[in-house]
């Protein structure tokens, strides 16, 4: 099976992030998930995915058994939750690190420690390094060679997307031989049988009002997250 696309990785990262930072808004509707994917803070790169792209990604992730539908009795709109921690047997620290790498690309241990604080609080860099080593030993992330002038190592995720395709170590671990990545090779974590086709969400006119309200809530939640990020950055600068 070809590894997850950039869209799938962004969707998966957003589901993990929102589960851990705004549990009252989780699971997510399609619209809330689109807003989370496209928000301008805590994302690298900033994207503008439409609902069709999100639906397709949800279908593929469902077939991988990395997400499932979770519609509740109080909402007519389909909702979605991730299953990555269960499928890959990940700890809270491990899945938090993976989520930040999926959402923001290559990062140093110092950046990861700061950016995972809202999802999981590592006591120190040693604890984070232990988690990074455990993920690297499973070929879920890799440490990159230092570039000229860099003082810290950088890490990137290998679950899927462009980063994983560019990684020679990912290609070697997936195919079992040296050389460029094999696009038909099994991606890390795909050591499960194919799932039944995942239902793509279907919308009817009766959901319009509910979707409108949820869109407003999602926008407010996104704005609040941006404000929290600004406050956290200000505290970091002031040393508070």
**Alpha carbons 38 and 214: distance in angstroms, whole number:** 16
CB count in 10 Å sphere of residue 125: 13
- 154 beta partners: 144
Closest CA to 80 of 37, 29, 11: 29
Look at 70 and 40; give whichever has higher pLDDT. Answer: 40
Q: Could you report the per-residue pLDDT of 45-55, keeping only the tens digit for each?
A: 999 999 999 99
Q: Could you report the per-residue pLDDT of 224-240, keeping only the tens digit for each?
A: 766 777 787 777 778 77
Q: Could you report the per-residue pLDDT of 171-223, keeping only the tens digit for each?
A: 544 444 444 444 344 455 443 333 344 555 555 555 556 666 766 676 676 66
Q: Which fold has domain 6-238?
A: Arc Repressor Mutant, subunit A (1.10.10)
- Domain ranges in the chain are 6-238
- 141 beta partners: 157
**Alpha carbons 77 and 85: distance in angstroms, whole number:** 25
Residue 73 banded pLDDT, cuts 50, 70, 90 = low
Q: Residue 41: its pLDDT value, please? A: 95
The overall average pLDDT reported for the chain is 82
**To which residue do tokens 């900033």 refer?**
46
Closest CA to 111 of 91, 138, 90, 132: 132
pTM value > 0.85: no
């Amino acid at each position: 099976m070809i590894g997850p696309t950039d869209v799938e990785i962004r969707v998966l990262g957003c589901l993990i992030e929102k589960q851990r930072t705004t549990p009252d808004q989780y699971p997510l509707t399609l619209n809330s998930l689109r807003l989370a994917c496209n928000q301008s803070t805590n994302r690298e790169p900033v994207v503008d995915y439409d609902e069709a792209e999100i639906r397709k990604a949800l279908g593929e992730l469902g077939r991988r058994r990395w997400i499932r539908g979770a519609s509740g009795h109080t909402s007519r709109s389909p909702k979605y939750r991730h299953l990555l921690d269960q499928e890959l047997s990940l700890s809270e620290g491990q899945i938090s690190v993976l989520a930040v790498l999926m959402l923001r690309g290559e990062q140093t241990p110092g950046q990861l420690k700061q950016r995972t604080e809202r999802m999981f609080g590592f006591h120190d860099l040693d604890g984070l390094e232990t988690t990074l080593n455990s993920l690297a030993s499973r070929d879920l992330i890799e440490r990159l060679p230092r570039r000229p002038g860099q003082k810290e190592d950088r890490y990137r995720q290998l679950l899927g997307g462009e980063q994983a395709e560019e990684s020679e170590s990912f290609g070697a671990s997936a195919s079992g031989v040296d050389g460029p990545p094999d696009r038909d090779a099994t991606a890390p974590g795909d050591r499960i049988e194919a799932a039944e086709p995942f239902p793509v969400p279907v919308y009817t006119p009766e959901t319009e009002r509910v979707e409108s309200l949820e869109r407003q809530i999602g926008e407010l939640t996104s704005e609040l997250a941006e404000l929290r990020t600004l406050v956290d950055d200000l505290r970091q600068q002031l040393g508070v």
